[in-house]
């Protein structure tokens, strides 16, 4: 994708504990540094070597993803007995909002001392989606918390399920194999061979998807579970424990990533997380995405929670990543 580099605007916000940079192309977070006692400023997300590299990045590095995160099967869904055809950009399927989606757009942008604000107008028919959608995305730092808040309104009924696509690696190690992960999830969504939800839930108890107690991610290298082996790692949606179909009220973190020295806790109003262990990176497993969002392919599964945004409603994804140094 060829674009003029002068169109790219970069912003940096910081306090004593965090330093965050982002660009208006894809509302992408390009750098998050944590101020550690032993090593000073250390990276906690993967970044590309130059701003130019983000303009032709196939991995959604640091991007804001939407209108729909994840895959929509066969790039279509029905709404009120009307078939809606979306753009196919993953074989027959629709992935992360399409080719000219949020991650590929130039957002209007401003900043102040502790926040960066992005605004985007996605017009009716954009990548096949109905309705004129207005999106505001705010990146804010508060103490050791990095907060992402995405709000959207639309003038027609449209699916909306945005997420943040940072690849986390606490301290800049070569891989995430020495990281440990815990997820407050009793079940995952079963996937078919094309990584599309079948509609079934799988209880994680007694399976290799049980992260209710922290497990080291080196397990994905030695994994014999068929799906983890086939996908070369995790690429699965974990359903929040005790989620009863309404906005989660549990103040506890939904996930926690840690090394021997650092910890990242994830708090969100979303009902689950898509966990992707960077299987397609070269080399793989350099970072892990913990994407807070609603269920993928939800418009094609009536028993999944609805992601439809009706006129007059406000879609909201608010997620807080807390970075801590372990004593």
11-49 confidence digits (pLDDT tens): 999 999 999 999 999 999 999 999 999 899 999 999 999
Q: What is the pLDDT of residues 117-146, one digit of tens each?
A: 999 999 999 999 999 999 999 999 999 999
Residue 152 structure tokens = 């959207």
Residue 151 structure tokens = 């709000």
Radius of gyration of the chain (CA): 19
pLDDT along the chain (327 residues), means of 10: 68 98 98 96 98 96 98 96 96 97 97 97 98 98 98 98 98 96 97 94 96 94 82 95 65 95 97 97 97 97 96 97 95
Spell out the domains of the chain, with CATH numbers in brackets: 5-325 (2.70.98.10)
Secondary structure percentages of the chain, helix, strand, coil, to 5: 10, 45, 45
* Per-residue pLDDT, 249: 58
State pTM to two decimals.
Answer: 0.96
Q: What is the sign, positive or negative, of the torsion defined by CA atoms of 70, 319, 122, 112? A: negative
Do 317 and 162 form a contact (C-beta atoms < 8 A)?
A: yes
CA 280 from chain center: how many Å?
16
* Per-residue pLDDT, 4: 47
Q: Cα separation of 291 and 213, whole Å? A: 19
Q: Cα separation of 73 and 304, whole Å? A: 14
Q: Cα separation of 154 and 49, whole Å? A: 36
Q: Cα separation of 61 and 288, whole Å? A: 11
* Per-residue pLDDT, 243: 75
Which DSSP string do the residues of 173-210 spell out, in sequence order?
Answer: -S-STT-EEEE-EEEEEEE-TTS-EEEEEEE-TTSTT-
Residue 75 structure tokens = 């790039």
Q: Which helix (H) or strand (E) holds 52?
A: helix 51-54
- The burial class, CB within 10 Å (0-12 / 13-18 / 19+), for 50 is exposed
Q: Cα separation of 227 and 230, whole Å? A: 5
Do 258 and 180 form a contact (C-beta atoms < 8 A)?
A: yes
Residue 193 structure tokens = 């061979």
CA 283 from chain center: how many Å?
20
Q: Cα separation of 324 and 312, whole Å? A: 39
* Per-residue pLDDT, 221: 78
């Amino acid at each position: 994708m060829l674009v003029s580099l002068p169109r790219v605007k970069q912003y940096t916000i910081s306090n004593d504990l965090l330093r965050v940079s982002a660009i208006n192309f894809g509302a992408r977070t390009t750098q998050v540094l944590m101020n550690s006692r032993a090593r000073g400023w250390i990276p906690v997300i993967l970044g590309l070597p130059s701003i130019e590299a983000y303009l032709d990045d196939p991995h959604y590095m640091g991007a804001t993803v939407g209108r729909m995160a994840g895959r929509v099967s066969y790039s279509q869904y029905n709404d009120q007995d009307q078939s809606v055809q979306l753009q196919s950009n993953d074989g027959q399927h629709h992935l992360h909002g399409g080719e000219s989606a949020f991650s590929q757009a130039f957002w209007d942008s401003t900043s102040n001392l502790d926040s960066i604000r992005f605004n985007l107008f996605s017009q009716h028919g954009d990548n096949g989606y109905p309705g004129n959608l207005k999106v505001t995305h705010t990146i804010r730092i508060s103490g050791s918390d990095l907060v992402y808040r995405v709000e959207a309104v639309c003038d027609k009924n449209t699916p909306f399920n945005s997420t943040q696509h940072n690849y986390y690696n606490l301290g800049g190690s070569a891989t995430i194999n020495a990281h440990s992960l815990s997820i407050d999830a009793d079940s995952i969504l079963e996937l078919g061979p094309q990584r599309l939800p079948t509609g079934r839930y799988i209880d994680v108890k007694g399976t290799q998807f049980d992260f209710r107690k922290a497990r080291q991610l080196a397990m994905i290298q030695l994994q014999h579970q068929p799906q983890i082996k086939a996908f070369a790692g995790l690429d699965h949606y974990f359903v929040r424990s005790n989620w009863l179909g309404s906005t989660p009220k549990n103040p506890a973190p939904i996930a926690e990533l840690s090394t021997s020295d650092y910890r990242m806790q994830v708090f969100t109003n979303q009902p689950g997380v898509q966990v992707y262990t960077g299987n397609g990176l070269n080399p793989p497993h350099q970072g892990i995405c913990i994407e807070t969002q609603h269920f993928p392919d939800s418009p094609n599964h009536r028993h999944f929670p609805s992601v439809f945004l009706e006129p007059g409603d406000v879609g909201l994804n608010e997620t807080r990543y807390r970075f801590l140094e372990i004593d």
